[in-house]
Chain A
Amino acid sequence: MITYALYFAFGCFGLGLLFNLWRIATGPENADRILALDTMVINIIALLILYGIWQGTTVYYEASMLVAMVGFVSTVAYCRFVLRGDIIE
């Protein structure tokens, strides 16, 4: 059962990544692109966790944790750039 659930989840998040890319490529606004990138980060976190479940190991956990942490930071940085220009004022 868990295998099918994993297949389904892989399929959904993979599709999600492709849609994110479409949004990043077409825009139209920079805000759309940043949002799509942030969503992409979340999708990747999900995929890493799913992959860990699939392989039955915890070794990928730190990687997804780190992606979560720094993905947030880079999203903030992109946003500050668009809003204020200077990211460290």
Chain B
Amino acid sequence: MTNGGSLLPIIALLPFLGALVPGLMIRAGRNACATFTAVPTIAALAMLGVLTPDVMAGEVLKAEIEWLPQLGLSASFFLDGLGLLFAFMILGVGLLITLYARFYLSGDDPMGQFYTYLLLFQGAMLGIVISDNILLLLIFWELTSLSSFLLIGYWKHLPEGRQGARMALAVTGSGGLAMIAGMLILGNIVGSYNLTDILAAGDVIRASDWYLPALILILLGAFTKSAQFPFHFWLPHAMAAPTPVSAYLHSATMVKAGVFLMARMWPALAGTDAWFYIVSITGLITMVLGALIALFKDDLKALLAFSTVSHLGLLTMLLGFGTEKAAIAAVFHIINHLTFKAALFMTAGIVDHETHTRDIKRLGGLAKFMPITALIGTVAALSMAGIPLFNGFLSKELMLEEAAHTAWYQNDWIVPALATLGALLSVAYSLRFIFHVFAGPARDDYPAHPHDPPFGMYAAPALLCVLVVAIGVLPGLAYPMVKVAAQAVTGQELNFYLKIWHGVTPALIMSIIAVVGGALLLGLHRPLARAWNAAPRPEAKAIFDALISALVRLSRGVTDGLHNGAISRYLAIFVVSTVGLVYVAFSGGTLSPPTREMLPVPPVVAVGYVLLIASALLVVLNHHNRFRALVLIGVIGLMISAGFVYLSAPDLALTQISVETVTIMLLLLALHFLPKTTPRESSVGLRLRDGVIAVAAGAGVAALAMVFLLRDFDPISDYHLANSYEGGGGTNVVNVILVDFRGYDTFGEIIVLGIAGLTIFALMEALLSGPAARRLRNTDYSRDRSRDRHPLMMVVATRAMLPIAVMVGVYIFLRGHNQPGGGFVAGLVISIALLMQYMASGFGWTQTRQRLEYHTMIGWGVLIAALTGVGAWLGGAPFLTSIYGYIKLPLIEKFGLGSAFAFDLGVFLTVLGAVMLMLYSLSRIARYAGETVNVEPMDYDPSGKRELKKPEGE
């Protein structure tokens, strides 16, 4: 039966969909918010319950939604015993945490936000354990890092919270990056990204040369996530999170993701010496070190955090052993650790909540005031210590049993001894949790008067404690789950028993040593703690901060070196690297001999070239005088336009001429408010360097053009020439390319042009409301002015020119499809015609006479072009497919009218709007500089009937 598999994607999606709800439901109150958070979790749990019998029967459920099968990308899910165990843990504890957090969070905390983050995390975590595709798994893996970042930093006002969140993200995120590389290598070895394929190909993977790199990279991901030495330091700092987060992420689920991954990859990666030594040594060191530090922590949550580090080390070590019994022990301990550690965290949260402190030194004797909490805490802590009749004892026995006959490099005693030491320390800190918090004489100096919390708050840990005792007394309860999960880890049929009494075994003796030793150690705690605090030891946070700031310095150095704010440096870097690349390409290949002759140069054309070269040199020599440089640029533009005509590109010539004029006007408008000369700032060396770069780039481009022009190659223009009339309905190939063949490009370009126009407008708005406006207002631009503001001659001439220019514009626009012209040139011509009026009669007079907003014109242009493109859909053709026909109007020639025409209209309107908006924006500066605006069209009224009102200051 595989129908059940189709539920898997729904289960994976539920928490993400559910995450949308709490943020809204918080308006309906805190209870409603919590209830609606629980709904998706309960629904997912119910669906999981439906699937459980199949998985228990040994089936592996699968579901696959193909996305890009060619790349091996698909959203595929599978559920086996291990996935089922983790899914139950994630959802079950998630539900308990939802309940607990409802009572834990205070009224000031944004609860909707909290539950949203929590569900996001739950979804990400659930995704990890049921993904079949390792790429999908990686995405969920990164999502857990991100959502835990949000959760750790939930109390945004606490600096520790923010720093802890950043540290957790940096450590687990970089581990995730390493794991991505490892997973990709793994996928490459196997030839598939499907986890089920990878798990089946263990022998191929282990025999591959790439096994070791893949193993190390994947383990880096797992170790950082599961806080293994030397990456363990982030977990205690993540304790700045609210306690429900610590209980959920940092004991039950997220930190177990690394352990889960090692268990998941066990059939593919385990069974080699490299696995055995790397994983078990890391685990053992982490276990002992974590326990040792935990013993001396005074903060309740820090104690629990380091004990979690220690227990994660234990799990890692067990998985590292690589035997089947160790795998059973690991799976069993995952369950047990979840129950007692989540309960302990919640207990610590209750203590913190009721007494307003987590400092063990200020606590003690709480059993008298909060008996229920004390009972819960004691039961859970005894389980953590590994006392018989609690579930922690059972898995610890299994662990010690495995450790007892594991040898490192033929050394029989080191693993058992260290494991016993770890267990001993674990007993010591667990007992400390009981005796220094709950037992002892009652005190009268608690920061707040302690009492038991409401039922809702202790219900969740109490339930977990019931599980602790139930499994501790009747291990058979957990047996089916452990069996099915352990079989999924090892990939083999397993037969074993879980029982309390194994007889007098080495494990029992080690256990007794641990309990007795732990009790003695607690007795000696005070002097030991003094010695511990006096001893120097490395501070992980300081090292981490130093490392991070060194990295920041390094990247800032690189960035500032490349991007120092001087455009000459950017250009130098860009040009030099381009020239370098071209040189490499040039020297690497062989050049075929030229196949074309040089063209003859008639004397007049030679004059044109002389003019171009001479004025280019003159610009270089004269560029400090900006106006002179502008005149010379005018010469260059003129000569280039003439060159286009001579070289048979009339379309380009038309465009070039109009663009030149508009550019000159824009530059003149801007220059009015700028210094008229460029100061000499560069040193001789710098100028020499820039000169060499410029000449190299220019020579390079010239050489490249020369090489291409002298050789025949196969251009795409033949296709365009052949299909222009047939396919596009026009004989002007350039225009057909613009509006048809490459219509999509043009569409993008007019949008960019529109954006540029609007951006200049917006920048000018910002500029004029900033400090620059003050400077403008205080600068006098009116010196040495001609008194002829709006000369009569000019006004009359431009008025006469307007209809002619508009006529030319319309003519160029209409014939564009078949003869040189088109919307772009027409837009420029009309805007030049309008600009003449602005120049002649001034801004104010003209502005009152134009009724179309330029912004709207841009919008209409883009809209018309888009609608033309969309119109093709109605005919069932792709976007921007053109249709055309010919119509004949009286008086004018027959012209082509097609969808391309409407598209060209869009181009025309956008160009006109953008150009006018740019010039309008620039000329607005003058108004801010205190310039007056005239209301009359010219200085002198030819009718002589009235005296013109002189503007101020004239």
Contacts and interface: CB of A to CB of B under 8 A. Distances in A.
Interface in A48-79: 48, 51, 59-60, 62-63, 65-67, 69-74, 76-78
Given A37-B631, A78-B668, A84 B786 contact: yes
Interface in A30-57: 30, 33-34, 37, 40-41, 44, 47-48, 51
A70 B661 CA distance: 6
Interface in B800-828: 801, 804-805, 808, 812, 819-821, 825
B661 A89 contact: no
B610 A18 contact: yes
A30 B628 contact: yes
Given A21-B615, A87-B665, A48 B610 contact: no
A51 B863 CA distance: 41
A83 B839 CA distance: 13
Interface residues on chain A, size class: 35 or more
A88 B631 contact: no
Contacts of B933: 89
Interface stretch (B491-499, B640-648, B694-702): B640-648
Contact of A25 (B604, B614, B669, B843): B614
B838 to A, nearest CB: 5
Interface in B620-661: 627-628, 630-632, 634-635, 638-639, 641-642, 645-646, 650, 653-654, 657-658, 660-661
Nearest to B784: A85
Interface stretch (B5-13, B144-152, B479-487, B829-837): B829-837
Contact of B789 (A15, A44, A89): A89
B333 to A, nearest CB: 81
B579 interface: no
A47 B645 CA distance: 10
Contacts of B801: 69, 72
Interface string A2-19: 000000001101110110
A6 to B, nearest CB: 10
A24 B782 CA distance: 27
B184 interface: no
B945 interface: no
Contacts of A47: 604, 642
B85 to A, nearest CB: 76
A69 B668 CA distance: 19
B607 interface: yes
Contact of B926 (A76, A78, A88): A88
Contact of B654 (A30, A51, A66, A86): A66
Instruction: Please report whether the interface of chain A is mostly helix, strand, loop or mixed according to DSSP.
Output: helix
B936 to A, nearest CB: 12
Nearest to B658: A70
B631 A34 contact: yes
Contacts of A17: 607-608, 611
Nearest to A33: B631
B634 A37 contact: yes
A65 B808 contact: yes
Contacts of B821: 62
Interface in B651-701: 653-654, 657-658, 660-661, 664-665, 668-669, 671-672
Contacts of A24: 615, 618, 631-632, 635
Contacts of A76: 794, 836, 839
Contacts of A87: 665, 668-669, 672, 839
Interface in B5-59: none
Contact of A89 (B632, B657, B668, B842): B842
B946 interface: no
Contacts of B608: 17
A66 B680 CA distance: 38
A62 B835 CA distance: 21
A73 B635 CA distance: 15
B614 A89 contact: no
Contacts of A86: 669, 672, 781, 923, 926, 931
Instruction: Please report whether the interface of chain B is mostly helix, strand, loop or mixed according to DSSP.
Output: helix
B836 A60 contact: no
A41 B604 contact: no
Contact of B638 (A13, A18, A41): A41
Given A21-B614, A62-B650, A85-B785, A74 B634 contact: yes
Given A34-B631, A89-B843, A83 B638 contact: no
- Identify which of A41, A65, A80, A83 gathers the most chain B CB atoms within 10 Å of its CB: A80
B658 A89 contact: no
B120 interface: no
A87 B794 CA distance: 13
B650 A81 contact: no
Contact of A67 (B657, B671, B790): B657
B826 to A, nearest CB: 11
B634 A10 contact: no
Nearest to B653: A63
A53 to B, nearest CB: 13
B938 to A, nearest CB: 12
A71 B838 CA distance: 17
B934 interface: yes
Contacts of B536: none
Given A37-B635, A89-B842, A11 B603 contact: yes
A80 B653 contact: no
B326 interface: no
A44 B642 contact: yes
A34 B630 CA distance: 10
Given A10-B604, A66-B829, A88 B838 contact: yes
B919 interface: yes
B677 to A, nearest CB: 13
Contact of A63 (B614, B650, B805): B650
B788 interface: yes
B102 to A, nearest CB: 67
Contacts of A81: 627, 668, 671-672
B398 to A, nearest CB: 88
B635 A40 contact: yes
Contacts of B805: 69
B661 A73 contact: yes
Contacts of B658: 66, 70
Interface in B901-949: 919, 923, 926, 931, 933-934
A70 B657 contact: yes
A88 B611 contact: no
A87 B8 CA distance: 70
A25 B622 CA distance: 9
B808 A84 contact: no
Contact of A48 (B645, B664, B782, B843): B645
- Identify which of B611, B825, B923 gathers the most chain A CB atoms within 10 Å of its CB: B611
A2 to B, nearest CB: 16
B175 to A, nearest CB: 61
Contacts of A74: 634, 660-661, 664-665
B628 A33 contact: yes
B568 to A, nearest CB: 26
B737 to A, nearest CB: 18
A69 B808 contact: yes
Interface in B109-136: none
B788 A83 contact: yes
Contacts of B618: 24-25
A88 B840 CA distance: 8
Contacts of A72: 801
A63 B654 contact: yes
Nearest to A81: B668
Contact of A83 (B615, B653, B785): B785
A70 B657 CA distance: 8
A21 B926 contact: no
6 contacts: A10-B604, A62-B820, A76-B836, A87-B665, A87-B668, A88-B842
Question: Can you list the 4 inter-chain pairs with the closest CB atoms, starting with the nearest?
Answer: A83-B786, A88-B923, A70-B661, A14-B607
Given A13-B604, A47-B642, A81-B671, 8 more contacts: A63-B650, A70-B661, A70-B829, A70-B832, A78-B668, A84-B789, A89-B842, A89-B931
